[in-house]
Amino acid sequence: MLHIAKSDDNGRLYLDYAAGAPLSTFVAAQMAQASTIHGNPSSLYEEGRAARAALEGARECVARALGARASEIIFTGSGSESDALALCGAARALSRVGRHIIVSSIEHKAVLKSARALEKEGFSVSYLPPDKEGYISPDTLARAVRADTVLVSVMYANNEIGTVEPVQKLVDAVRARAPRVLFHTDACQAPGQLPVDVNLLGVDLMSVNGSKAYGPKGIGALFVREGVRLEPIVHGEQEMGIRGGTESVLLAAGLAAALNESEALRKMEAPRLERLRDLLISQVESRISGARLHGPRENRLPSNVHFSFSGVEGEAMLLMLDARGISCATGSACNSLDLAPSHVLLAIGEDPELCHGSVRMTIGRATSEEDIFRATRELEDVVARLRSISALTIMKQNCFEK
């Protein structure tokens, strides 16, 4: 039986599912069962064999959710580690073939920082610019492929502005130009909202994690298509020699349950989220002047809404909304303590000043239509209050008085 995660009964409204979704009751139940397994999966005695069996069962479940073979799934400590293993592991393994990689300029920081680390090792990196809605053009990607290109990484769905990239077309564009170039996609935002079948997408490497799919934090997985070689970044004997460290049966069970529940609910839940997302967009645009939507209106993550408001600071908005019991973000959770404008918004050509007034609201299983109206009312009032006391408003008033 599948169970939907419920909101806390504390009057708060959680609108930051892209940063981390609550643990579903179904996943929690599966993890409770796994918590009784205390052996080390690498041990040969009975407790170790039981742990190994449970771990491999979880691997089978993850593989099934992704349309992969169990032997193609590597457990990691997070989505960020999966990204780093895909980029650094593949690039280093292919360094004798070529030393050029391609990434989009709106990737998650885990990809971008891995790419910059590779540059320090002598790799050449091309950072592809998106269009104003965040799309990477297949033609632009194909033209960037060189004779020494070994790897391309373009995320499936952007965590900040919700753009769903045409991954299949991007893969086809690369294959037509250079069939042996590997293609990686960060799909951490996709489970439960988009199809995540690796064969449908055609990718060689795909990163997922638990925390975005109503599973536990601290666990991720990397799909590695059969025949693809990786150099480990955490050395050891576990995970087929690709990722060292004693595996957590508890977390692996949680990830497996989360991915399978998300996939089982997707056809019902994704359309519901789309309706609520579009309602939130229409409410904000009709009630708040100067609201600018970032990202596309079509081919957008069902859960994602990201606006900027002129004359308002994003951090001030978040604090005031928090005081009113609403949790949301200015962009990526990994940037929450960084006051610099979002690299994603800058990459799609937004004005830096406007970027400072952005707020990302992401909805989930517990979000209702009533929540959308509440969020809009509170946001409207907060923006109005902040604009009334902003330096820009005061300056205009002074100029008028003179």
Please report, for the domain that includes residue 336, its CATH number. Answer: 3.90.1150.10
Asked if the model's pLDDT at residue 1 lies above 50, the reply is no
**Banded model confidence at residue 309, pLDDT cuts 50, 70, 90:** very high
Residue 80 confidence (pLDDT):
97
Containing domain of residue 196, as a range? 25-262
Confidence of residue 2 (pLDDT cuts 50, 70, 90): very low
Which of residues 262, 277, 294 is at a domain's end? 262
Q: Calculate the average pLDDT of the chain.
A: 93
Using an 8 Å Cβ cutoff, are 108 and 80 in contact? Answer: yes
Same domain, 53 and 191: yes
Give the helix ranges, DSSP H, for 288-368.
314-323, 343-347, 352-355
Examine residue 80 and state whether it is found in any structural domain, yes or no: yes
Tell whether 252 and 276 lie within a shared domain.
Answer: no
Query: Does the residue 7 lie in any domain?
Result: no
Residue labelled with tokens 């604090």: 319
218 lies in the same domain as 342: no
- Residue bearing tokens 């299983």: 365
CATH of the domain at 73: 3.40.640.10
| pLDDT of 333 above 80 | no
pLDDT beyond 60 at 396: no
Residue at a domain's end among 196, 230, 262: 262
- Tell whether 157 and 255 lie within a shared domain: yes
Q: What are the tens digits of pLDDT across the range 125-165?
A: 999 999 999 999 999 999 999 999 999 999 999 999 999 99
Distances (CA, A) of 283 to 39, 378, 382: 53, 12, 15
* Residues tagged active-site: 334
Distance CA 234, CA 239 (A): 11
What is the torsional sign of CA 195, 197, 201, 203?
Answer: positive
Domain count, the chain: 2
Distance of alpha carbon 154 from alpha carbon 15, whole angstroms? 26
Cβ contact 223:239 at 8 Å: no
Are 221 and 279 within one domain? no
* Domain-ending residue, one of 239, 262, 285: 262
Q: Which SS3 state, helix, strand or coil, does residue 14 take?
A: strand
Task: Check pLDDT > 80 for residue 338.
Answer: no
Under 8 Å between Cβ of 372 and 326: no
Residues 271 and 245 in one domain: no
Band of residue 400 on the pLDDT scale cut at 50, 70, 90 = very low
- What pLDDT band is residue 390 in, cutting at 50, 70 and 90? confident
Q: How many of the other CB atoms lie within 10 Å of CB of 256? A: 30
The larger pLDDT score, comparing residue 353 to residue 51, is at 51
Tell me: the pLDDT tens digits for 48-77?
A: 999 999 999 999 999 999 999 999 999 999
**pLDDT at 306 > cutoff 60:** yes
On whether residue 1 sits in a domain, the answer given is no
Asked whether the whole model's pTM tops 0.95, one would answer no
pLDDT at 330 (0 to 100):
84
In terms of domains, do 215 and 323 share one?
no
Residue 331 lies in a domain: yes
Residue 4 within any structural domain of the chain: no
Beta carbons within 8 Å of 38's beta carbon, 6+ residues apart: 47, 51
Do 271 and 246 share a structural domain? no
pLDDT above 90 covers a percentage of the chain that reads 88
The answer to whether residue 397 scores a pLDDT higher than 70 is no
Q: Is residue 167 part of a domain?
A: yes
Is residue 254 domain-shared with residue 147, that is, in the same domain? yes
User: Quick one: 279 and 375 in the same domain?
Assistant: yes
User: Are 222 and 298 in the same domain?
Assistant: no
Residues 341 and 290 in one domain: yes
What value does the mean pLDDT take over residues 12-34? 97
Q: What is the pLDDT of residue 308?
A: 95
The phi and psi torsions of 149 (rounded to 5 degrees) equal: -75, 135
What pLDDT score does 332 carry?
A: 45
Per-residue confidence (pLDDT) for residue 392, from 0 to 100: 54
Q: Residue 258: what pLDDT?
A: 98
